[in-house]
């Protein structure tokens, strides 16, 4: 498939991606580098991220800096900003990708477990946003933020309640700042990804003993799960100047999965041609 945007779309720009060394974050890292950006990967596992940064830098011939910080701690983020500015002079875009999640009955969660997910997802997102936002406003610099929501940020979801609460907060942050910071040159958007199998998420959300319950071919109208490159292309588009008029949007990329769960008659997807013939005959008969 041809690429969505020209390969120099992010030339001369620096993009900071939290959790950019694994999973969806790594997909975003590849796409931003392919489009000419230099990269800062921020995460807790510095050893792994430094290794990833080295490989990416060689592959794309771009500068990739891996820095250790836990997004839950504002002071750790504040401490790495000077290093980033020393190396690149500026940061142009932020992807708040770092997340934490696992399935559990809510009553089985300790309050610390609840805190952990909310702190990584919501606090992590507003910590990075606040740090860079203040910096951009001081510098009067144009910038773009991409947050990662979920489809269940709108509906809520049983068994991932801390994540649902935190992601709903991320959506509120996205829409609020779009209006508050839009006039100051900072666009804020979000993605709501559906099922994109990545190791970290799948191990925590769909353990092997439950996989027989998840028939994604039936659950997702397009009949398959997503590929990370598909999400990364949309992420890059939302951050780019091609999306300069998109602000405060939460873009769902899920093959129609959440709508399939919503429509009252969507269960009819399971009907065969024979079922339909019988059903149509019955409904016509009811009319006559």
Q: How far is the CB of 106 from ligand HXC (least distance, A)?
A: 10
Among 50, 81, 201, 234, binds ligand HXC (CB under 6 A): 201
Q: Taking contact as CB under 6 A, which single stretch among the options 53-61, 83-91, 112-120, 225-233 is the one that binds ligand HXC? A: 112-120
Contact 171, 164 (CB under 8 A): no
Of 57 and 115, the one with the shorter C-beta distance to ligand HXC is 115
Among 33, 84, 192, 195, binds ligand HXC (CB under 6 A): 195
Q: Around 10, how many Cα atoms within 13 Å sit in the side-chain half-sphere?
A: 31
Of 200 and 221, the one with the shorter C-beta distance to ligand HXC is 200
Is position 260 an interface residue for ligand HXC (rule: CB under 6 A)?
A: no
Q: How far is the CB of 44 from ligand HXC (least distance, A)?
A: 8
Single out the catalytic residue among 60, 74, 126, 152. Answer: 152
Among 110, 264, 272, 274, binds ligand HXC (CB under 6 A): 110
Q: What's the Cα-to-Cα distance from 14 to each of 28, 38, 93, 100, rounded to whole Å?
A: 13, 5, 7, 25
271 in helix, strand or coil? coil
Contact 64, 17 (CB under 8 A): no
Is position 97 an interface residue for ligand HXC (rule: CB under 6 A)?
A: no
Q: Please state, in angstroms and rounded to a whole number, the distance separating the CA atoms of residues 145 and 243.
A: 12
Of 24 and 243, the one with the shorter C-beta distance to ligand HXC is 24
Secondary structure in 3-state letters for 177-246: HHHHHHHHCEEEEEEEECCCCCHHHHHHHCCHHHHHHCCHHHHCCCCCCCCHHHHHHHHHHHHCHHHCCC
Report angle CA 20, 21, 26 to the nearest 5 degrees: 65
Of 6 and 207, the one with the shorter C-beta distance to ligand HXC is 207
Q: How many residues does the chain have?
A: 288
Q: How far is the CB of 49 from ligand HXC (least distance, A)?
A: 13
Would strands 64-68 and 38-43 be described as parallel, antiparallel, or unpaired? parallel
Q: How far is the CB of 176 from ligand HXC (least distance, A)?
A: 21
Q: Is 152 a catalytic residue?
A: yes
Residues that bind ligand HXC (CB under 6 A): 99-102, 104, 109-110, 112-113, 116-117, 150, 163, 195, 200-201, 204-205
Active site residues: 152
């Amino acid at each position: 498939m041809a690429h969505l945007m020209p390969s120099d779309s992010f030339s001369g720009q620096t993009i900071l991606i939290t959790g950019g060394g694994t999973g969806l974050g790594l997909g975003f890292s590849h796409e931003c580098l392919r489009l000419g950006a230099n990269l800062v990967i921020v995460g807790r596992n510095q050893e792994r991220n430094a290794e990833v940064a080295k490989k990416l830098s060689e592959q794309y011939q771009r500068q990739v800096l891996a820095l250790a910080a836990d997004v839950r701690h504002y002071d750790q983020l504040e401490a790495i900003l000077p290093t980033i500015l020393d190396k690149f002079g500026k940061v142009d875009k932020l992807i708040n990708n770092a997340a934490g999640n696992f399935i559990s009955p809510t009553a089985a969660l300790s309050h610390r477990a609840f805190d952990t997910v909310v702190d990584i997802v919501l606090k992590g997102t507003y910590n990075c946003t606040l740090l860079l936002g203040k910096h951009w406003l001081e510098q009067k610099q144009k910038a773009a933020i991409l947050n990662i929501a979920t489809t269940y940020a709108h509906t809520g979801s049983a068994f991932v309640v801390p994540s649902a609460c935190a992601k709903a907060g991320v959506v509120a942050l996205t829409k609020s700042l779009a209006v508050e910071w839009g006039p100051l040159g900072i666009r804020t958007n979000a993605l709501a990804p559906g099922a994109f199998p990545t190791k970290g998420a799948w191990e925590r959300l769909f353990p092997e003993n439950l996989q027989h319950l998840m028939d994604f071919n039936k659950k997702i109208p397009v009949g398959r799960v997503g590929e990370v490159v598909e999400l990364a292309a949309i992420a890059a588009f939302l951050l780019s100047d091609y999306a300069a008029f998109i602000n405060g949007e939460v873009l769902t990329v899920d093959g129609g999965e959440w709508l399939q769960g919503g429509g009252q008659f969507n269960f009819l997807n399971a009907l065969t041609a024979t079922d339909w013939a019988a059903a149509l005959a019955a409904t016509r008969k009811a009319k006559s």
